[in-house]
């Protein structure tokens, strides 16, 4: 019998290289729907407890439980996003058909800035400075919106089979992940807490802040209060920085139109209530669920918007938080490995 060309170790290395190459090709081929994979992980984490409860406690058939959860998630997650998107599109079309309104706002703010600050071209300078960045950002957001139907379809297709075969999926994760059982439990718990904190917690913060700002706009006589409340809710995913992008320009417009007490009142309402209610709610959520540092959220939004479009407001911070969590587990694993090596050296 002829001796083999490659040793067993060399064969393993070659097979590993083949696996890595094919994996790289698959990752490149599916780069356009990467958001669907991340969305599947998020949805599975959010509804895992309910799925197990329906199957193991109420003895529901697995397919029925999966279908119910998918329908439920469509009504409480997907449809609101579609509604918000439709509202934004309708408003954008209305503004495009009435450009005089935009010019009026710009002229009003410039007039106030010129009379008060001695900078009559303040708004124009700021718009020119940020036009290139927001132009690219808008292109990325619209590009992500064009791909959203495919991503939702892929997400629910994968999610169905994960929910039906949840035990096999989780056992496979435990088998292939380079964590021991204790680390896997820690990883899973922190993954759940991070997801709940960013999805459930941040959604509550966004709804409350958007509602408070809409009420403030209504009290102080700013038009389209509901629309701007929705915009505030979206921007609330950017901690501290989001809501002022709405109520500060609105204050300037009110002041420029001679509505001094309304402008001052709206400014106080924004900073005293809208901003502070964010801090209070985040403190409560962080104590109950989990903590995501505001810096992670801000950087995650900057990363997520170009990658995933508008949904990057959610996915970006999650992706960054997952990365930091994996890094934390790696450092813990490395420290345990060093301790084991030191213990073996002492025993020898």
pLDDT at 205 exceeding the cut of 50: yes
Q: Which residue has the tokens 């700013």?
A: 222
Integer CA distances (angstroms), 111 to 114, 222, 225, 289, in order: 5, 19, 24, 47
Q: How much of the chain is helix, strand and coil, in % rounded to 5? A: 85, 0, 15
Q: Compute the average pLDDT of residues 147-156.
A: 80
Query: Quick one: pLDDT at residue 190?
Result: 76
pLDDT at 130 exceeding the cut of 80: no
Residue percentage of the chain with pLDDT more than 70: 74
The Cα–Cα gap between 89 and 153 comes to: 22
pLDDT at 129 exceeding the cut of 50: no
**Sequence-distant contacts of 222-225: CB under 8 A, at least 24 apart:** 222/250, 222/253, 222/254, 222/266, 224/91
Structure tokens at 214: 């809409």
Highest mean pLDDT among 71-80, 99-108, 233-242: 71-80
Query: Quick one: pLDDT at residue 15?
Result: 85
Among 325, 67, 35, 78, which residue's Cα sits nearest to residue 197? 325
Q: Do 213 and 247 touch, CB atoms closer than 8 A?
A: yes
Rounded mean pLDDT of the chain? Answer: 76
């Amino acid at each position: 019998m002829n001796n083999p060309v490659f040793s067993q170790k060399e064969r393993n290395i070659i097979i590993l290289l083949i696996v890595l190459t094919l994996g790289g090709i698959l990752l490149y081929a599916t780069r356009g729907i990467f958001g669907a994979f991340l969305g599947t992980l998020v949805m599975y984490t959010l509804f895992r407890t309910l799925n197990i409860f329906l199957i193991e406690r109420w003895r529901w058939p697995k397919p029925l439980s999966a279908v119910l959860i998918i329908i439920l998630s469509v009504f409480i997650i997907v449809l609101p996003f579609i509604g918000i998107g439709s509202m934004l599109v309708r408003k954008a079309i209305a503004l495009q058909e009435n450009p005089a309104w935009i010019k009026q706002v710009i002229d009003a703010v410039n007039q106030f800035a010129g009379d008060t600050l001695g900078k009559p071209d303040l708004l124009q300078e700021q718009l020119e400075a940020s036009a290139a960045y927001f132009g690219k950002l808008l292109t990325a957001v619209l590009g992500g919106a064009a791909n959203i139907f495919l991503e939702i379809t892929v997400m629910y297709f994968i999610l169905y089979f994960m929910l039906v075969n949840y035990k096999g999926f989780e056992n496979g994760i435990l088998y292939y992940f380079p964590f021991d059982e204790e680390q896997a439990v820690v990883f899973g718990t922190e993954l759940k807490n991070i997801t709940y904190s960013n999805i459930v917690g941040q959604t509550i913060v966004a709804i409350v802040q958007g509602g408070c700002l809409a009420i403030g706009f209504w009290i102080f006589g700013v038009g389209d209060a509901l629309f701007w409340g929705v915009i505030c809710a979206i921007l609330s995913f950017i901690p501290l920085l989001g809501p002022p992008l709405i109520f500060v320009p609105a204050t300037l417009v009110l002041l420029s139109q001679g509505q001094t007490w309304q402008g001052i009142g709206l400014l106080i309402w924004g900073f005293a209530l809208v901003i502070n209610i964010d801090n209070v709610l985040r403190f409560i959520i962080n104590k109950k669920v989990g903590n995501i540092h505001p810096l992670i959220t801000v950087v995650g939004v900057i990363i997520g918007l170009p990658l995933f479009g508008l949904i990057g407001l959610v996915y970006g911070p999650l992706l960054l938080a997952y990365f930091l969590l994996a890094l934390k587990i790696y450092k813990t694993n490395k420290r345990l490995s060093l301790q084991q090596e030191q213990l073996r050296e002492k025993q020898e």
